[in-house]
Chains A and B, each alone.
Chain A
């Protein structure tokens, strides 16, 4: 009962209330959607502790057992403390960790941003290796994939214009017509699937881990 029925009831009630209030602008119902999001972020604050706990423990075990590469766990702790402490200090000093003069913003820009940008920029290499490997005319479907990819790739750089001056136009036609149709279909499918899944959740048919 406590472990099964009540959670299912909570899901049912929350779900129904939020769906119904979508149609009622009158207070207090009109704001419930927003409130649900606020609640979500509050609960999220607590579960973040679980995440931090899981990570800290994971690296602590590595350190204690002197597992292979244990000293990288020290690097992890340094990074964690660096951003956390400067964040808290900046918050207290400037009332906003993202103030341009704060130490947090400074570390963010000098360490985190280059790391993010570089990791992101790995894509330039991976998009090349993926196209080399995947775009082979193995069968008819793969050929379609290949053909539009190559046309669009060429059509978006000056070389494409030099090859055939209509190529940029063809490219935008492909993007606006050939691409838009199926993407719309996919989006409609996802939306209907989401609604169906929501109904299953409310009815307690789809329980994932609650059963």
Chain B
């Protein structure tokens, strides 16, 4: 047994145990770790933002850039300043301008993503092709999957009562959804257990030195 002499390992180990103590019940150790975590997180977020966006996207183009379009960046700066209006009771409504810009941006950005990445790719994958029937088992599997896609979509049909054929199809859709959710859940268990194994190894190997 070789207990670590590195004070940082000790700090990490104590913080690890502090978080785990939450599993028993809320306690001052967890509260300590939680508040430290939130403090570090916001400082970390601020540094990350600075490093990943303000410097490369705002400072560099404005200070060192030569492109005439760089002055367009003054618009988001202005919108950003408007959002600070929230500090004043009288001008707090100014925040609606940057928010309105966001709304427009959401719309503009999500529509292409929806088409390009999801709808077409998924629909194309769903269409049964000759090659999907190269052997009987594969064929059956693909038909089963095809029914799964179709019935799930009918479950999300909102503007009609789920009765008759639509009702039956939506019902099958829900069964498929449940089967899929169960599979996803079971699939993830392994990865989650390995996380705990990782922490145990840290405690028993790096910290306490019980195992090699």
Residues of A near any B CB (own CB < 8 A): 3, 6-8, 10-19, 21-22, 28, 33, 35-53, 55, 69, 72-73, 75-85, 87-88, 91, 96-98, 104, 107-108, 110-115, 117-125, 127, 131, 135, 140-142, 144-153, 156-157, 173-195, 198-199, 201-202, 208-210
In the complex, B165 has a CB within 8 A of chain A: no
Known: A39-B101, A112-B44. A144 touches B182 (CB 8 A): yes
In the complex, B98 has a CB within 8 A of chain A: yes
A37 shortest CB reach to chain B, Å: 7
- In the complex, the answer to whether B114 meets A72 with C-beta atoms within 8 Å is no
Query: CB-CB < 8 A to A81: which residues of B?
Result: 39, 43
In the complex, B168 has a CB within 8 A of chain A: no
- Knowing that A44-B53, A50-B83 are A-B contacts, what are 5 other residue pairs whose CB atoms are under 8 Å apart, sorted by A's residue number? A19-B107, A50-B86, A83-B44, A149-B186, A185-B176
A163 shortest CB reach to chain B, Å: 15
3 closest cross-chain pairs (CB), A and B? A181-B148, A18-B108, A79-B39
Please, could you name 13 A-B residue pairs with CB atoms under 8 Å apart, sorted by A?
Answer: A7-B99, A11-B101, A18-B105, A42-B73, A50-B84, A50-B86, A131-B189, A142-B178, A149-B182, A185-B155, A185-B173, A187-B118, A192-B114
**In the bound complex, CA of A199 to CA of B77 (Å):** 27
Query: CB-CB < 8 A to B202: which residues of A?
Result: 114, 117
Interface of B is mostly: helix
For chain B, residues 70 to 88, give those with C-beta under 8 angstroms from any C-beta of chain A: 72-73, 75-77, 79-81, 83-84, 86-87
Query: CB-CB < 8 A to B97: which residues of A?
Result: 6-7, 10
- In the complex, the answer to whether B43 meets A195 with C-beta atoms within 8 Å is no
Interface of A is mostly: helix
- In the complex, the answer to whether B141 meets A173 with C-beta atoms within 8 Å is yes
B69 shortest CB reach to chain A, Å: 7
- In the complex, the answer to whether B42 meets A186 with C-beta atoms within 8 Å is no
B210 shortest CB reach to chain A, Å: 18
- In the complex, the answer to whether A177 meets B107 with C-beta atoms within 8 Å is no
For chain B, residues 145 to 166, give those with C-beta under 8 angstroms from any C-beta of chain A: 145-153, 155-156
User: Of the candidates A21, A39, A135, A201, which one forms a contact with B107 in the assembled complex, judged by CB atoms under 8 Å apart?
Assistant: A201
B7 shortest CB reach to chain A, Å: 9
Residues of B near any A CB (own CB < 8 A): 8, 11-13, 15-16, 19-20, 22-23, 31-47, 49-54, 57-58, 69, 72-73, 75-77, 79-81, 83-84, 86-87, 93, 96-112, 114-115, 118-119, 122-123, 125-126, 141-142, 144-153, 155-156, 173-190, 192-193, 195-196, 198-199, 202
- In the complex, the answer to whether B149 meets A72 with C-beta atoms within 8 Å is no
**In the bound complex, CA of A11 to CA of B76 (Å):** 14
- In the complex, the answer to whether B112 meets A33 with C-beta atoms within 8 Å is yes
Query: CB-CB < 8 A to B83: which residues of A?
Result: 43, 46-47, 50
- In the complex, the answer to whether A83 meets B179 with C-beta atoms within 8 Å is no
Known: A18-B109, A114-B202, A177-B141. A11 touches B103 (CB 8 A): yes
Known: A15-B104, A84-B46, A114-B12. A185 touches B153 (CB 8 A): yes
**In the bound complex, CA of A62 to CA of B110 (Å):** 41
**In the bound complex, CA of A181 to CA of B184 (Å):** 13
- In the complex, the answer to whether B76 meets A42 with C-beta atoms within 8 Å is yes
- In the complex, the answer to whether A184 meets B126 with C-beta atoms within 8 Å is yes
B180 shortest CB reach to chain A, Å: 4
**In the bound complex, CA of A185 to CA of B156 (Å):** 9
Query: CB-CB < 8 A to B34: which residues of A?
Result: 72
Known: A83-B47, A108-B44, A210-B96. A152 touches B15 (CB 8 A): no
**In the bound complex, CA of A49 to CA of B112 (Å):** 31
- In the complex, the answer to whether B22 meets A122 with C-beta atoms within 8 Å is yes
**In the bound complex, CA of A148 to CA of B177 (Å):** 11
**In the bound complex, CA of A199 to CA of B196 (Å):** 45
A199 shortest CB reach to chain B, Å: 8
User: Of the candidates B47, B110, B119, which one forms a contact with A104 in the assembled complex, judged by CB atoms under 8 Å apart?
Assistant: B47
